């Protein structure tokens, strides 16, 4: 098209003002395509009043189809000049930027401005804010404004109490451009007055007011997750929301901040306009408003969550509490834990300690920890034996210290060293007699090796609970088919008698997450309903109106009757209520 521009216009605007500039304007507009329709041509008048045959103006009705602000329609004019004489005459374009947009005169720029959004809150069932924002300030570096890097690093590290290498690592990331504002550290609003005089004199450093993510209660850290600066790769799949490299997004795989990032993060708005060279606005061409992030409501009970975390202390472990009649998760505790505010505030020293801690405080043991279920599995074995008619409630079975039901080559031990004699199911559960359940496991296995594994699966074990927005492990219920698929050595593929009896007491290959075990316990309590657990119960817009409600959902039913489960619950009460119960004394009174 450059060849169609008149020589005079080429000299006036130069190749940089046409060949190079037009693609830049298209990029700035996020132009996808455009439609142009020509109108009638007119000729300007000569001094004599007659039309000038060598000049003409053609009106253009142009519609720009943009990605960010939709369609922009304007009427522009294309000035033409006749160059050459007679049969060599040709019309050329007397180009000016106004041919693109009427107010785009010399020196003015097309500018797409991103409009800020605000992140939604995460609140508990009673309205307690688990993740919210407070006014603060962020200290940042603009690399292109640094004059003395050693001087800047020395001064800034002194003011912020950070290592120079940690500061430099932030503004040398791949996404950073010379004019990027790179957040280094967030400081509380009350610290600004004291630190501002020391910061404003450091060239390349800026202080900007901001709203900072905070986690006021400090509860459920692994479940909530945290924010991080988006890399270019992180930003690409979120570009539809206007996310760019450097923006704060949920850290991948960290928790609800990540899985609900699209809901919480909202969408940036955009304003397309013409501005003066000093960025003063001239005309707004189109605008897409920002959409605030939505609030997320959780089923967590803050008091119960706090009690669970306090009970665990700094010991490795997890506690999950589930409402057996709705599947709502009331507590989801994992310890040891960490301070989410250290991530929000950019405290690199604390973050480094957490990420390198061998106790793995970032690991959510409640949903990702997979552990042998142990005696907590015995109600499944009891339910399967009752269901299959292989045990009649009230019957007595021997509980020796050494069980050899499959022969002396398969000796398995009870946890008590003395023989207990013949006992019934209630006593076996109360005293957690392994030998009693070895025998039930044998009876089930002798009838069909799949009976006990299938019973476990009917309680929701051996697969993910499918809880919305929560990362979780699947656990494992071993079975003959699983061994065939899992192992390559022919001997290892065999389903041995010991596999069945180990499974009967929740040992061997059996694994489950604390979340799965809470859901299984809920099914024992509610006569066999296996819920799809719920942590997120509602998503609301910022006015408080419900956008989406996550209703309770039945995932399945345990293979047991109400009567059988009622009997098993009575056995479970004996664990804490009977003097012979394994945890009678801790719960006494």
The architecture that CATH gives domain 122-294 is 2-Layer Sandwich (3.30)
Residue 220 pLDDT > 70, yes or no?
yes
Residue 589 pLDDT: 65
Q: What are phi and psi of 49, to 5 degrees?
A: 95, -10
The secondary structure of residue 571, as a DSSP letter, is H
Mean pLDDT of 39-63: 92
Residue 346 pLDDT > 80, yes or no?
no
Ranges of each domain in the chain: 2-106, 122-294, 374-587
Mean pLDDT of 490-518: 97
What's the pLDDT band for 135 if we cut at 50, 70, 90? confident
Residue 271 pLDDT > 90, yes or no?
yes
**Which residue, among 231, 217, 296, 222, has the nearest Cα to 254 in the 3D structure?**
222
Residue 442 pLDDT: 98
- Match 């910022």 to its residue by tokens: 542
Residue 586 pLDDT > 90, yes or no?
no
* Right CATH for 2-106 from 3.90.320.10, 3.10.450.100, 3.30.420.40, 3.30.70.20: 3.10.450.100
Residue 32 pLDDT > 90, yes or no?
yes
Residue 567 pLDDT: 98
Neighbours of 432 (CB within 10 A): 20
Q: Helices then strands (H, E): number in the chain?
A: 22, 24
Residue 204 in contact with residue 176, Cβ under 8 Å? no
Task: Give percent above pLDDT 90 in the chain.
Answer: 83
Residue 392 pLDDT > 80, yes or no?
yes
Mean pLDDT in the chain? 94
H or E segment and range at residue 451: helix 451-458
**Peptide bond preceding 293 in cis form (omega within 30 of 0):** no
**Residue 30 region, left (φ>0) first, then alpha (ψ -120 to 50), else beta?**
left
Residue 73 pLDDT: 96
What's the pLDDT band for 106 if we cut at 50, 70, 90? confident
Mean pLDDT of 126-146: 93
Residue 191 pLDDT: 87
What's the pLDDT band for 284 if we cut at 50, 70, 90? very high
DSSP string, 54-123: TEEEEEEEEEEEETTTEEEEEEEEEEEEEESSGGG-EEEE---GGGTSTT--TT-EEEEEEEP--PPPEE
What's the pLDDT band for 16 if we cut at 50, 70, 90? confident
Regarding beta strands 295-298 and 122-123, do their DSSP bridges make them parallel or antiparallel, or are they unpaired? parallel
What's the pLDDT band for 18 if we cut at 50, 70, 90? confident
State pTM to two decimals.
0.86
Mean pLDDT of 66-83: 95
Chain centre distance of CA 491: 43
Mean pLDDT of 275-286: 95
**Residue 460 region, left (φ>0) first, then alpha (ψ -120 to 50), else beta?**
left
Q: What are phi and psi of 91, to 5 degrees?
A: -80, 130
Residue 228 in contact with residue 248, Cβ under 8 Å? yes
Residue 283 pLDDT > 90, yes or no?
yes
Residue 263 pLDDT: 97
H or E segment and range at residue 427: helix 425-430
Cα separation of 71 and 53, whole Å?
36
**How far is residue 55 from each of residues 40, 43, 459, 547, measured CA to CA in Å?**
14, 6, 85, 60
CATH fold match for the domains 2-106 and 122-294? no
Mean pLDDT of 352-377: 96
What length does the chain have?
Answer: 589
Residue 373 in contact with residue 558, Cβ under 8 Å? no
Mean pLDDT of 190-218: 91
Mean pLDDT of 406-430: 94
Residue 345 pLDDT > 90, yes or no?
no
H or E segment and range at residue 423: strand 422-423
> What does the pLDDT look like over 162-201, one tens digit per residue?
999 999 999 999 889 898 899 898 888 888 889 999 999 9
Residue 184 in contact with residue 159, Cβ under 8 Å? no
**Which residue, among 69, 541, 113, has the nearest Cα to 292 in the 3D structure?**
541
Residue 189 pLDDT: 83
CATH superfamily for domain 374-587: DD-peptidase/beta-lactamase superfamily (3.40.710.10)
Mean pLDDT of 128-142: 92
Mean pLDDT of 5-13: 89
Residue 86 pLDDT: 80
The SS3 assignment for 224 reads helix
Residue 511 pLDDT > 90, yes or no?
yes
Residue 371 pLDDT: 98
């Amino acid at each position: 098209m450059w060849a169609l521009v008149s020589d005079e216009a080429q000299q006036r605007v130069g190749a940089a003002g046409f060949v190079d500039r037009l693609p830049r304007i298209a990029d700035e507009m996020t132009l996808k395509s455009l439609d142009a329709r020509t109108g009638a041509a007119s000729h300007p008048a000569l001094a004599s009043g007659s039309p000038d045959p060598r000049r003409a103006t053609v009106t253009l009705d142009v519609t720009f189809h943009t990605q960010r602000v939709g369609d922009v329609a304007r009427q522009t004019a294309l000035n033409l000049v006749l160059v050459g004489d007679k049969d060599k005459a040709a019309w050329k374009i007397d180009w000016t930027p106004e041919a693109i947009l009427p107010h785009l005169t010399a020196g003015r720029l097309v500018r797409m401005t991103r409009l800020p959004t605000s992140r939604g809150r995460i609140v508990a069932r009673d309205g307690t804010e688990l993740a919210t924002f407070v006014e603060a300030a962020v200290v940042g570096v603009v690399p292109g404004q640094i004059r003395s890097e050693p001087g800047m690093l020395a001064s800034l590290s002194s003011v912020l109490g950070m290592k120079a290498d940690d500061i430099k690592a932030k503004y040398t990331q791949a996404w950073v451009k010379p004019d990027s504002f790179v957040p280094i550290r967030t400081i509380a609003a009350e610290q600004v007055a004291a630190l501002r005089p020391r910061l404003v004199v450091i060239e390349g450093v800026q202080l900007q007011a901001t709203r900072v993510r905070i986690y006021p209660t400090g509860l459920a850290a692994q479940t909530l997750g945290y924010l991080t600066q988006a890399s270019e790769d992180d930003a690409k799949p979120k570009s539809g929301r206007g996310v760019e490299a450097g923006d704060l997004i949920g850290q991948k795989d960290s928790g609800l901040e990540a899985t609900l990032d699209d809901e919480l993060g909202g969408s940036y708005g955009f304003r397309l306009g013409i501005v003066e060279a000093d960025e003063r606005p001239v005309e707004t061409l189109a605008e897409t408003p920002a959409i605030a992030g939505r609030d997320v409501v959780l089923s967590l009970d803050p008091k119960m969550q706090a009690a669970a975390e306090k009970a665990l202390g700094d010991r490795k472990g997890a506690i999950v509490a589930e409402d057996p009649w709705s599947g709502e998760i009331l507590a989801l505790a994992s310890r040891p834990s960490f301070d989410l505010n250290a991530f929000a505030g950019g405290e690199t020293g604390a973050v480094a300690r957490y990420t390198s801690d061998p106790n793995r405080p970032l690991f959510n043991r409640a949903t990702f920890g997979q552990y042998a279920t142990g005696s907590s599995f015995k109600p499944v074995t009891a339910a399967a034996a009752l269901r299959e008619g292989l045990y009649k409630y009230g019957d007595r079975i021997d509980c020796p210290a050494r069980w050899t039901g499959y022969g002396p080559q398969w000796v398995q031990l009870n946890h008590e060293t003395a023989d207990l004699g013949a006992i019934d199911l209630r006593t076996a559960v109360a005293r957690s007699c392994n030998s009693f359940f070895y025998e039930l496991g044998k009876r089930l296995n002798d009838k069909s090796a799949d009976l006990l594994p299938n019973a476990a699966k009917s309680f929701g074990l051996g697969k993910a609970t499918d809880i919305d927005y929560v990362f979780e492990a699947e656990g494992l219920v071993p079975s003959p088919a699983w061994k065939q698929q899992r192992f390559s050595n022919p001997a290892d593929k065999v389903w041995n008698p010991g596999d069945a009896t180990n499974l009967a007491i929740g040992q061997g290959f059996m694994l489950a997450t604390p979340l799965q075990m809470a859901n299984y316990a809920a099914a024992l309590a509610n006569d066999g309903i296996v819920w799809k657990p719920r942590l997120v119960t509602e998503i609301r817009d910022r006015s408080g109106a419900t956008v989406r409600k996550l209703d309770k959902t039945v995932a399945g039913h345990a293979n047991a009757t109400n009567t059988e489960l009622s009997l098993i619950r009575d056995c479970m009460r004996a664990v804490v209520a009977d003097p012979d119960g394994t945890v009678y004394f801790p719960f006494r009174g």
